[in-house]
Structure 1
Amino acid sequence: MADIWTLLLSPVPEIKNVQRRNFSLRRETPRFSTAALTEELVIPPVQVNYTQLLINGKFVDSASGKTFPTFDPRTGEVIAHVAEGDAEDINRAVSAARKAFDEGPWPKMTAYERSRIMLRFADLVEKHSDELAALETWDNGKPYEQASQAELPMLARLFRYYAGWADKIHGLTVPADGPYHVQTLHEPIGVAGQIIPWNFPLLMFAWKVGPALACGNTIVLKTAEQTPLTALYVANLFHEAGLPPGVLNIISGFGPTAGAALASHMDVDKLAFTGSTETGKIVLGLAAKSNLKPVTLELGGKSPFIVCEDADIDKAVELAHFALFFNQGQCCCAGSRTYVHECVYDEFIEKSKARAMKRIVGDPFKKGVEQGPQIDTEQFEKVLRYIRSGIESNATLECGGGRLGSKGFFIQPTVFSNVQDDMLIAKDEIFGPVQSILKFKDLDEVIKRANTTRYGLAAGVFTKNVDTANTLSRALKAGTVWVNCFDVFDAAIPFGGYKMSGIGREKGIYSLHNYLQVKAVVTPLKKAAWL
């Protein structure tokens, strides 16, 4: 599977105009840049059809009858009101998932049949990819071209990958010191509680749901309150593909109510969470205080991107720009600490500034737009506070630094130079379009500085020297090190962090380990002449 970088640089085909599904899109030349933002917006080419909770195969209102608004980040206006789940709804969903696991057909059916259902789902994702991409853009603010040309193909690919694993999960025969036959069984763990973030709603849905279903588990998934719409849409597609009722349950709601209830539920056998490190600590504590359920955490990051003195500067500037600004900078593994060798630092600064100033910011539904709005007003204000902090700490503001336009949550692509390691913009996860560029002298120095962080999710290295690449890739304390590339998210490549960036790995074969129990079965052998 191609990486996001390759897909986004490929020629973009015309967006489909599928009238038979009441789906249309005005094709317009981008009007937005970092210099101006027009108030004219493209009408989102999709309808919102699913706003209730999904429990036991049916869309239902929350027990309380409450709803909450989900907003268009382009304008701050309400898209729809979504059912607000709380502890009572979590109880209902967990009860449905428990019954589906203990009594239903999903864990008992052949692995091949589970695989076929997942493959049918992937086919339906492709069939409805236009609507899904539009809904993801409308609810999240990411560019439509990114959603349609990179993320939706990845979504289908991820489920096909996990479908391929379903009938290849098996135990071992183990030799023992004595007359015993020993075998191991790999069994589904039970009811999986899953909490996904708002920055990549569909892809995080796949990272969590895919391996859990392949292993035969049932699921209660809580969406992020900012982006509940696409998970509900694809859950309906799963039932169209033949998924039995109760196997996949979707609860929209807030962390302190629905999220906390799921993390602490005594009948949830395993918990998976993606989000901030601070929230991850809370989730882990709740799980420990309840039934000691195993927890996997994919948390925050402050990834170093190291540009060595032998680098092709033009290519390094472009890759560093992508590593930071992709998805509005709302990416946990963003290369948000750009370390540049002193020999090429000044040239790199000038070219990075020029590249950022050319970045096209605007309505994410318009062709050619590279950057949409931040997710909501809370994130918008947080990013602006960090920009002010950078200015106050005497980093050099090369470009950007403020709001773009008067409506929505658009922020100018921002570049700081002369950044020091003790500044907040170099230490904290900003989660926005703010590039911090730091200077280094030699490898030993940059290794030490890059590793002096509480995070360890990812790192990037840009060099022509294989010895330098090998040295850095082994020395950096991070779960992923990209060499002369960045954000390569193939389905088979494991992803996760060192230190406070999380526990466990997702994607690849490693993700299956999260959703399996290992059982040893020991049987005495009747002694025979050949023993």
Structure 2
Amino acid sequence: MERFLNYVSGEHRPARSGQWLDSVDPATGEVWAQIPAGDTADVDDAVAAAQEAFRSSDWRRVPTAVRAVRLRAWADAIEANAEHLSEIETRDNGRPLKETRFAQLPGAAMQVRYLAGLAEEIEGTTTDIRPEAFAYTLWEPVGVGAVIIPWNGPLPVFFAKVAAALAAGNAVVVKPSEHASVSILEATRLFAGLDIPPGLVNVVAGTGAAAGDAVAGHPDIGKISFTGSTETGRRITRRATGNIKNLQLELGGKSPHIIFADADLEAAAAGVAGGIFTPNAGQTCVVGSRVLVQSAVYDEFVGLLAKQAENLAVGDPADPATGMGPIANPAQYDKIRSYLQIGREEGAELAFGGRTTEDLFPADSRLRGGYYVEPTLFTTGDNRLRICQEEIFGPVAVALPFDTEEQAVRIANDTPYGLAAGLWTENLRRAHRLTRALRAGSVWVNTYKALHWALPFGGHKHSGNGGAAGGATALREWMELKSVWMNVGDPAPRGEER
């Protein structure tokens, strides 16, 4: 049983309490590693280390070009260790290896390089207010920030958030999910060979109630970047109000995927399947879990979607043939199974799927102890059902019919969330109308879940607080704006406003 350690002030260490938490392999249900059960004492150590590094290191004072070079060296290290880290990520949270190894880790390295380049683009503005005044603005680092990371994609979030914080000149404390901390704790070993001062990056594992609460309420943390569920985002917000922290919240979704009769239905079915029956079993905030289909092609499209689902092999995430892996942890598995029951009780019809581990694997299979749900689709005409309004965060979609464009928009926007939306149509005018009418932070037309670090990403309504990460202004989320007014004319008389 391997034990992984917290990372504080450049050192790997256990929790001060000496307590440990088990890490479960979701493919088999077996405990395979342990992580520190960090708490307030460990968070205090990490924040103190970050404060000292921010004050005493040259990180925020070195030329931004030098900072960028050091971050690019980190990206090189990520690439060099991608195979090892992806294997750990897959075992820790069940995301199939073909995705972690060949998509997420290479993408993470490229994103770190992109953010490193933004460090060289930090610039303020000058304002011509009056002849005797030289007025300008400065973007400065927050100081000590915190990143609270979800369990569905730990390494990509870790690399992206920490790279942005460092590129902006900050020190950072990272709290990974207790359900998937191992890959991040292992990734801290990369810093040993880098010219990034000790204490700039600190990682404390532990439960949300212990370590997470301590991070959210710590008076010396000036900013929190959180990715996760809307309910956890509410708890962090309440906890962080004591010292009015800068909060960046990327939260849940119940995204609509709208298919019009004029669409390429085969392509749309493949896009919808890829947008909900994902390799990590629909455990992604942007999944298109509400499938709105124009009535004229409703039955045909449900049939096409069923064929897409039939071709997805559910199984071992380490197997290259696997199309969809397990649910990441027991609590989430139980939640998804409860929604399968809720859907039936609400009167929705089960079009296909609905089976879980016991129905999918024989009793002698090593996967019988894992957490599996097959691609599932309910059909209903009532968008008020709980399975239509609440985030399930699994491979469970709901299909709803509509007749007119106006009805499609009304149903699509009739949810507390506003993270993403998909639209399939060959009508260019309709595409432009709906991209404006849909209340979502991202809208995709004739594609879905097309993400890139060069574009902003954030949610509306209960999907976030509007602080979009990504894009050319990504570092500004980790900086504060200062105005400077210099009088370059004759000194103004005391008390005179000029």
Q: TM-score range by the shorter chain?
A: over 0.9
Residue type of the alignment partner of 1:117: R
Rounded to whole Å, the distance in 1 between the matches of 2:349 and 2:473 is 42
Q: Is the 8 A contact 1:189 1:217 kept in 2?
A: yes
- Aligned twin of 2:487: 524
- Aligned twin of 1:477: 439
Say yes or no: does 1:495 pair with 2:457.
yes
Say yes or no: does 1:514 pair with 2:466.
no
Structure 1's unaligned 5+ residue stretches are 1-46
Rounded to whole Å, the distance in 2 between the matches of 1:397 and 1:58 is 52
> After the TM superposition, which segments of 4 or more aligned residues of structure 1 sit over 3 Å from their partners?
none
Say yes or no: does 1:330 pair with 2:283.
yes
Q: Quick one: which of 387, 403, 421 aligns to 1:425?
A: 387
Rounded to whole Å, the distance in 2 between the matches of 1:387 and 1:474 is 33
Instruction: For residue 178 of structure 1, report the CA deviation from its aligned partner.
Output: 4.8
Q: Quick one: which of 416, 427, 438 aligns to 1:465?
A: 427
Counterparts of residues 71-220 of structure 1 (less than 5 Å)? 71-220=24-173
Moved more, 297-306 or 509-518: 509-518
Instruction: For residue 520 of structure 1, report the CA deviation from its aligned partner.
Output: 1.2
| CA RMSD between the two structures | 1.4
- Aligned twin of 1:297: 249
For 2:204, what is the secondary structure of its paired residue? strand
Say yes or no: does 1:443 pair with 2:396.
no
- Aligned twin of 1:273: 226
Q: 1:414-439 CA deviation, whole Å, 9 max, x = no partner?
A: 11123520111111100011121110
Instruction: For residue 242 of structure 1, report the CA deviation from its aligned partner.
Output: 1.8
Q: Is the 8 A contact 2:82 2:105 kept in 1?
A: yes
Residue type of the alignment partner of 1:438: L
- Aligned twin of 1:233: 186
Q: 1:153-208 CA deviation, whole Å, 9 max, x = no partner?
A: 11101100001111211212211135111121111110001101011111111231
Rounded to whole Å, the distance in 2 between the matches of 1:264 and 1:447 is 40
Q: 1:399-422 CA deviation, whole Å, 9 max, x = no partner?
A: 211213232001121111235201
Q: Is the 8 A contact 1:72 1:139 kept in 2?
A: yes
Rounded to whole Å, the distance in 2 between the matches of 1:84 and 1:165 is 36
Rounded to whole Å, the distance in 2 between the matches of 1:386 and 1:177 is 63
Residue type of the alignment partner of 2:262: D
- Aligned twin of 2:320: 367
Q: Quick one: which of 287, 312, 326 aligns to 2:264?
A: 312
Rounded to whole Å, the distance in 1 between the matches of 2:382 and 2:472 is 39
Say yes or no: does 1:52 pair with 2:14.
no
User: How many pairs does the alignment contain?
Assistant: 480
Q: Is the 8 A contact 1:333 1:458 kept in 2?
A: yes
Residue type of the alignment partner of 1:471: R
Q: Is the 8 A contact 1:304 1:459 kept in 2?
A: yes
For 2:27, what is the secondary structure of its paired residue? coil
Rounded to whole Å, the distance in 2 between the matches of 1:99 and 1:297 is 27
Residue type of the alignment partner of 1:299: L
Q: 1:101-136 CA deviation, whole Å, 9 max, x = no partner?
A: 112221122212211111111111111111111111
Q: 1:255-282 CA deviation, whole Å, 9 max, x = no partner?
A: 1111111111110111111111111011
- Aligned twin of 1:13: none
Say yes or no: does 1:453 pair with 2:415.
yes
- Aligned twin of 2:365: none
Q: Is the 8 A contact 2:282 2:396 kept in 1?
A: yes
- Aligned twin of 1:392: 345
For 1:471, what is the secondary structure of its paired residue? helix
Instruction: For residue 84 of structure 1, report the CA deviation from its aligned partner.
Output: 1.2
TM-score with structure 2 setting the length:
0.94
TM-score with structure 1 setting the length:
0.89
For 2:58, what is the secondary structure of its paired residue? coil
- Aligned twin of 2:496: none
Q: Is the 8 A contact 1:307 1:463 kept in 2?
A: yes
Instruction: For residue 488 of structure 1, report the CA deviation from its aligned partner.
Output: 1.4
Instruction: For residue 527 of structure 1, report the CA deviation from its aligned partner.
Output: 5.3
